[in-house]
Structure 1
Amino acid sequence: MNDTIAAQASKVPAVTLIFWLIKIAATTLGETGGDAVSMSMNLGYLVGTAIFAAVFAVAVSAQVSARHYQPLLYWTTIIATTTVGTTLADFADRSLGIGYAGGSTLLLALLVGSLAVWYRTMGSVAVDTIRTKKAEVFYWVTIMFSQTLGTALGDWTADTAGLGYLNGAVIFGTLLAVIAAAYYLTRISRTTLFWAAFILTRPLGAVVGDLLDKPVSAGGMALSRYSASAVLLGLILLSLYLFPQRAAEKSH
């Protein structure tokens, strides 16, 4: 009986405005935090990826093992995916030399493949159907790919395409606004819109994070990565305290 109840209980939050605001802050933190470890600490992308991958593994294990939605645990896991996504994308793009375009293409294929296998196996990729451990595993694998893709896509837009961090933020912010309008004005699948928005918040966070901590000569504001990360973490914790989130409810 307990296993049945646990399987039916959602462990992911309802999708609300505060969800998206925290998600953007978390993805921005992933960029500044990932850069702080790999660059400011001079540990490099490979070591940084190994550190954050270990944190991600622990967080996901705890999240999957939990019996009910725990906001702090959930968002810790999200932050873990976005930090490891930052260092992993930088390692693939820069250290392996495949470039931002190559990295983005590879990660997009992995993301689409993850969603396709998830849908074929479970019959749905909607958030309100994530009520079993198998669905949760698909959910977190997909999020990992989306976070890593977002980093590569943000870097490609700002650097390779030459649009800069501020213009990149405007572009991704505009695309998110278009998705929000589509949510209210069209009948496009809510699941499709959710994943489109979820993916786009990552490159937005990537370019905003770079805007905060990159040198002025490169178009950034040259803020301390440690200070920026601390402020973002504080904002996330404050938001969780002031705006308690409920678990996603099953559609009828």
Structure 2
Amino acid sequence: MNTSAEKVLSKVPEVTLVFWIIKIAATTLGETGGDAVSMSMNLGYLIGTVIFAAVFLAAVFAQIKTKTFKPFFYWTTIIATTTVGTTLADFADRSLGIGYAGGSTLLMALLFGSLFIWHRTLGSVSVSTVSSPKVEVFYWVTIMFSQTLGTALGDWTADTAGLGYTGGAILFGASLVLVAAFYYWTNVSRTLLFWAAFILTRPLGAVVGDFLDKPLSAGGLALSRYSASAALFAFMLTTILLFKQRAAGSAH
């Protein structure tokens, strides 16, 4: 591995249990934070999407410009993808009127299309191949699509499928346990399992976030979106400070 590749690789965190804990907290924060801006502030899904899209683009630009792995830069960008994913999915599902099924289908096509083009262009979609700004752009666009899809899937499962927030959390939590079982006890592609887990953490965060802030009559806890977002942010910050993350150096 050459020096320039190491510098870029060092910007991607090692995928450990701590990584997944922070990722789930970030996706939950994306749901409560996105809803706080679009609903609690009454700015609407379109304005919320414009605001968070600008934050997302700025965060990706800063992340690409860094020379080494910086946890705060990385997780700020992840949070940006979850918030823009929340408002964008809600805008597609509700404001455009295509529904959860239509929104999920469209976003799944965009996600798989991004992975397909990434693979065809560079030969791999493993995070260990991140070795240039071009690969990082593919990486972050794919993550943004996965976060948006996860929001739509979470809403679809909890509302249209009738599982509710608790049922949705159990479904996606069990799916993640299944992915973990495949990781430890089979030889299934680690890259495939990484993206499967990455995608599944988003609908889990979506239903948990909705459970926290939706009204009691809708099956939620009716917590303030602002206080829930602040608590989740504090948890993420504390975890990042307490558990030192290393840069990834191998495929996942």
Deviation string 1:26-59 (CA, Å, 9 cap, x unpaired) is 0000000000000000000000000000100100
CA distance in 2, matches of 1:13, 1:131: 14
Cα deviations across residues 174-208 of structure 1 (Å, max 9, x unaligned)? 00000001100111000000000000000000000
- The letter of the residue matching 2:74 is Y
What residue in structure 2 maps to residue 169 of structure 1?
169
Residue 82 of structure 2 is aligned to residue 70 of structure 1: no
CA contact (8 A) 1:7 1:133 kept: no
Contact 1:6 1:68 in 2 (8 A): no
Amino acid at match of 1:167: G
Which residue of 3, 20, 41 maps to 1:5? Answer: 3
Amino acid paired to 2:164: G
Show the counterpart of 1:110.
110
Runs of 4+ in 1 over 4 A off after TM superposition: none
* Structure-1-length-normalised TM-score: 0.97
| Cα distance in 2, alignment partners of residues 134 and 94 from structure 1 | 33
> Who is 1:43 aligned against?
43
Instruction: Find the aligned partners of 2:85 and 2:4 in 1 and give their Cα distance.
Output: 29
Q: State the match for 1:101 in structure 2.
A: 101
| Partner AA of 1:23 in structure 2 | K
2:206 alignment counterpart: 206
Q: How far, CA to CA, are the matches of 2:20 and 2:104 in structure 1?
A: 23
Match of 2:239 in 1: 239
SS at match of 1:30: helix
The aligned counterpart of 1:195 is 195
Matches of 1:184 and 1:15, distance apart in 2: 14
Corresponding residue of 2:156? 156
Give the share of equivalent positions with the same residue, in percent: 73
1:204-227 CA distance string (max 9 Å, x none)? 000000000000000000000000
Deviation at 1:129, TM superposition (A): 1.2
- Tell me the TM-score normalised to structure 2 length: 0.97
Q: What RMSD in Å do the two structures reach over aligned CA positions?
A: 0.9
- Matched positions, count: 248
2:136 aligned residue: 136
1:5 Cα deviation after fit:
3.3
| Structure 1: 5+ residue stretches without partners | none
3-state DSSP class of the match of 1:143?
A: helix
